[in-house]
Amino acid sequence: MDSGREPALHSVPFDERPPSPARSSYLPIQNRLSSFLTSRKSTPNLKAVQSAPSTPSTNDLVEALTREQNLRQAAEGKLDEASGELEELSAQLFMQANEMVATERKARAKLEERVEVLERRDNEKRKRLERLESAVQRIERVRGLLAPGQ
């Protein structure tokens, strides 16, 4: 390897590697989701517990486990509730969209029917006008025939 090149990723310790683009774009979402799902009360820092001079007793560990399980259940409950609300809102949105489409189709059909009626009337008027114009032309021809003979 040249000294000017960066070392290959497999030779760099995992925690020193730059985050991949997919992972780094996922992290803000994960952080927001984590903050939504976690309770405001935080559990004691495990490093602080581990660095304490006395080792935790079995009862302390059981209590911590129970607390974590309760927090997890609460988070899962919040997630289920949010998922249910999302499904309900999605269903409402689709129903409203379907209603809007149906209303628009009815309005369009009504307008198309109105255009058809107006076009039919326009054709009828055009035909009447053509008949009147031909009648006027016949009258003018007759007048032209009668006028020189007077």
pLDDT tens per residue across span 34-75: 555 555 555 555 555 555 557 889 999 999 999 999 999 999
Residue-level pLDDT at 1: 47
Is the overall model pTM greater than 0.85, yes or no? Answer: no
Residue 137 φ/ψ region, left for φ over 0, alpha for ψ in the -120 to 50 degree band, beta for the rest: alpha
Instruction: State how far the alpha carbon of 63 is from the alpha carbons of 42, 46, 57, 66, 72, in Å.
Output: 14, 13, 10, 5, 14
Looking at every residue in the chain, the average pLDDT score rounds to 79
Instruction: Give how far Cα 19 sits from Cα of 11, 24, 55, 101, 108, Å.
Output: 15, 6, 35, 45, 54
CB atoms within 10 A of CB 56: 15
23: pLDDT confidence band, cut at 50, 70 and 90? very low
Q: Where are the alpha helices (DSSP H) in the chain?
A: 21-37, 46-51, 58-146
pLDDT for position 69 = 96
To which residue do tokens 């006395």 refer? 54
Structure tokens belonging to residue 72: 């997890």
